[in-house]
Structure 1
Amino acid sequence: MADYQTIRAGISGARAAAIDEGLKAHMNKVYATMSGGMLITAAAAWAISNLATTADPAMAAAQLGNGTLLTGLGAALYLSPLRWVVMLAPLAFILFGWGALMRRGSAAAVSLGFFAFAAAMGVSMSSIFIVFTTYSIVQTFLVTAIAFAGLSLWGYTTKRDLSGMGTFLMMGVIGLLVAMIINIFLQSPAMMFAISAIGVLVFAGLTAFHTQEIKGTYVAHAAHGDQEWLDKAAIDGSLSLYISFLNMFQFLLMFMGQQE
């Protein structure tokens, strides 16, 4: 990862000032795009959860263990094999589609792909409005937002090189995925608690790491003047921070969430 101070030290005068201003605009775009994705995810999750449930027994196609009545859509999303498609589709897109889109797509296409991913994540997460109370969801979101802001600010301002954390943290993500898949079959509350605790720590670290990485990437490439690439890099950075925020939120919800 490029070191901001080292690169900037080799640039003087108006060019350094231009890079500083460009960096601020770049980071503002990253956070604005990420926030837009969050709004889409929240709106999609809320809308789908309302379409998937009903208070009228005559319209119910199925019932969950907590007594929630499901419409035909809800039964398909949460009880049929379709739930695996809904759950895994966003992950498959990140693993197999995002890299190709970044390489071959325009900035507009990459932006559209990000917002489509955010909508798909909303569908995937819609069950939280059925399982947890709205109050606890909002409370957990606010706690996550405060923690995220502090971690991202630290990642942006610290002079410590966080690049060494990247490989270690990504190994942690892989370990979490494996453990979560195993626990789908084991259904162990103790294992889920451990996964949630480790998950919060891993994605907290990734928030700071990705923020510094976004900053360093911009400074390293700003001199080339490839605005199309920088626009795509901003969206890619938004995706990284979006995923870190969303995972911190979900893992914290395991601790703080009050079930219906």
Structure 2
Amino acid sequence: MQPDNFGYQSSVTRAGANVDVGLKNHMQSVYNRMTVGVLLTAVTAWIVGNSPALLNFFLGGPQMYIVVFAPLAVLWFGFRPERMAPKQLMLSFGVLSILYGISFASIFVLYKLPSIAQAFFMATALFAGLSIFGYTTKKNLDALGTFSVMAIMGVFILSIGTMITAMFGVQTSMMQTIISGIGLLAFSGMTAYQTQTTKEMYRASYGVDANSRAAWSAALNLYVSFIAMFQYILHLLGNRN
């Protein structure tokens, strides 16, 4: 008598289909949250950048350094997916998006609007291509992720050094261009790696709450990568006013 494997195979097929649907919904949730963050940043930057009073209030004096470094403070101290509830993560993500928008408001003064739009669409296309690659590739991208993290740390250190040097009147335009090039490559690699990691970390068995926290964490990581790529593209290719 032959064993009946039909029921077993059907169960496996249904389980696989459920995983595929769950993963698709999870990834869509991640990108939806990231998109809301990007739009919130863009709207905030537009409002502040087109208001001389707000520009002067936030970026017109020594307080600009507080505004510039405030997003980093939220990243390091105010966003803890392993400890915070999804609603708290949503609030932190919203605050971070607004702070980034305020710190980027000066681009509407420094750069021509067509250049800003061009950089945004280029960053969007690059991000989409890298995300598709990270999602579909069978190759393990852990090495790329490690390299990207090291490069980002180097960019951060160089940026701080360049900022301090510029305060003493030293010309830093060439160094800023080099930093932008390295930063663009680093965050490009990070985007592909983060997408693959987001895909691999999803498990339906983790439950709604845990997967929601993971989605907020992934959305934040991809949001930061997109914003960084946009910033570096704008610096490299943008036409200044």
- TM-score when scaled to structure 1? 0.84
Q: Which runs of 5+ in 1 are unaligned?
A: 1-10, 54-70
The answer to whether the aligner puts 1:35 opposite 2:19 as a matched pair is no
Q: Which residue identity lines up with residue 114 of structure 2 in the other structure? A: Y
Structure 1 counterpart of 2:162: 183
CA distance in 2: counterparts of 1:173 and 1:189, whole angstroms = 19
How far apart are residue 76 of structure 1 and its match? 3.3
Compute the displacement of 1:74 (Å). 2.6
Alignment pair present for 1:18 and 2:18: yes
Deviations 1:94-150 (A, max 9, x none): 112212xx2332212211211121111101111111111111000110011011100
Name the structure 2 match of 1:142. Answer: 121
Q: Give yes or no for the alignment of 1:223 onto 2:208.
A: no
The Cα of 1:190 is off from its aligned counterpart by 1.3
Determine whether 1:91 maps to 2:72.
Answer: yes
Of the structure 1 ranges 196-205 and 105-114, higher mean CA displacement relative to structure 2 is found in 105-114
Displacement of 1:81 in angstroms is 1.3
The percentage of counterpart residues that share the same residue type is 36
SS of the residue 2:41 aligns to: helix
Structure 2 match to 1:61: none
Q: Give the alignment's Cα RMSD to 1 decimal.
A: 1.3
Matched, 1:47 2:47: yes
Distance 1:258 1:95 in 2: 33
Aligned-pair CA distance for 1:237? 0.6
Q: Give the alignment of 1:155-166 within 5 angstroms.
A: 155-166=134-145
Count of residue pairs brought into register by the alignment: 226
- 2:78, 2:92 within 8 Å by CA — same for their partners in 1? no
Letter matched to residue 204 of structure 2: A
1:201 maps onto 2:180 in alignment: no
- Distance in structure 2 (CA, Å) of the matches to 1:24 and 1:125: 32
Q: Which amino acid aligns with 1:115?
A: G
Q: How many Å apart are 1:164 and its aligned residue?
A: 2.1
Cα distance between partner residues in 2 of 1:34 and 1:216:
18
Structure-1 residue corresponding to 2:3: none
2:152/2:186 contact within 8 Å kept = yes
Instruction: Give the AA of the match of 1:142.
Output: F
Aligned-pair distance for 1:167?
2.1
Give secondary structure in 2 for the equivalent of 1:16: helix
**Counterpart secondary structure, 2:79:** helix
